[in-house]
Amino acid sequence: MIFQNLLHEHDVDGLKLFLDSLPVREKGSVFEFLLAELYRGNGWLVQHQGGRGDAGADILLYHPKTPSTVSLIIQAKNHALPLTLDQTRIELIKFEEQSAPLHKCQNFRLVAVNGFVSEAQKLGEFNLLLDGWEHIDKLVSGYDPESCIEPSIELFAHNRTTYEQIKAHWQETDHVAVVQATNQLKKQDTKVFFTR
């Protein structure tokens, strides 16, 4: 693909210009291929299956230590504008009703080239990672297909929520306690104490 040179040069701005300049009918599929390659070059095992009828799962990510289990479902969006609350909600519903049961995975990331409107961010409470260009920038920075054999630590939606809570509390104090549900039925809580 034409974006390979831009990837190997880690040219984030060039990639953005390239994606923005594509004809509308090619924008989605090219972005899916780019994103699949970025994840592959960051140590993930990748199955690209995008297109119509993908059940809301353009890319399936597998950790090399658990290659038969889907770790994360990716839906890629290369829209000219940030995704609205309604557009984001539609993707969340597709994930919950179609791709999660089909792939037996509860971790979902929606990656939009131009991000999301602020009100769409509230949907992150539903085990949904919402990432814009800053996520792609991070993937480009870590892109090393020759030597990267395992992905860096991934904060899934519930982990990211806890992490953000800790960061916010550390602005006020040096001691933080976080209560987080630990099982899928959310019936059991764990208290974790951090001291800086």
SS3 116: strand
- Please name every residue paired with 189 in a beta bridge, in sequence order, or none if there are none: 181
Q: 98 with 188, same domain?
A: no
CATH number of domain containing 26: 3.40.1350.10
Location of structure tokens 């290659």: 67
pLDDT band at residue 187 under the 50/70/90 scheme: very low
Please count the CA atoms within 13 angstroms of the CA of 164 that sit on its side-chain side.
9
Higher-pLDDT residue of 193 and 105 is 105
For residues 76 and 32, is the Cβ–Cβ distance under 8 A?
yes
The pLDDT assigned to 193 comes to: 60
Q: 19 with 49, same domain?
A: yes
Count of H-run helices and E-run strands, the chain: 7, 7
For residues 154 and 33, is the Cβ–Cβ distance under 8 A?
no
Higher-pLDDT residue of 186 and 83 is 83
For residues 7 and 13, is the Cβ–Cβ distance under 8 A?
no
Q: 165 with 147, same domain?
A: no
Q: 14 with 79, same domain?
A: yes
Q: 125 with 41, same domain?
A: yes
Rounded-to-5 percentages of helix, strand, coil across the chain = 45, 20, 35
The pLDDT assigned to 185 comes to: 47
For residues 130 and 123, is the Cβ–Cβ distance under 8 A?
yes
Which residue range(s) make up the domain with 188?
158-195
Q: 71 with 29, same domain?
A: yes
Q: Which amino acid is at 72?
A: L
Q: 144 with 57, same domain?
A: yes
For residues 34 and 17, is the Cβ–Cβ distance under 8 A?
no
- Digit-coded pLDDT (tens) for 51-105: 777 888 999 999 999 999 999 999 999 999 999 999 999 999 999 999 999 999 9
d(CA 44, CA 36): 9
Q: 75 with 115, same domain?
A: yes
Using a pLDDT cut of 90, give the percent of the chain over it.
Answer: 65
Q: 36 with 103, same domain?
A: yes
Look at 33-37, 139-143, 166-170 and tell me which has the smallest mean pLDDT.
Answer: 166-170
Q: 162 with 148, same domain?
A: no
CA distances from 167 to 110, 121, 164, 174, 193 (A): 23, 18, 5, 11, 13
Q: 162 with 183, same domain?
A: yes
- Work out how many domains the chain is built from and give that number: 2
- Digit-coded pLDDT (tens) for 150-185: 887 665 555 555 556 666 667 787 777 766 555 444
The pLDDT assigned to 160 comes to: 54
Kindly report the pTM of this predicted structure. Answer: 0.81
Q: 102 with 37, same domain?
A: yes
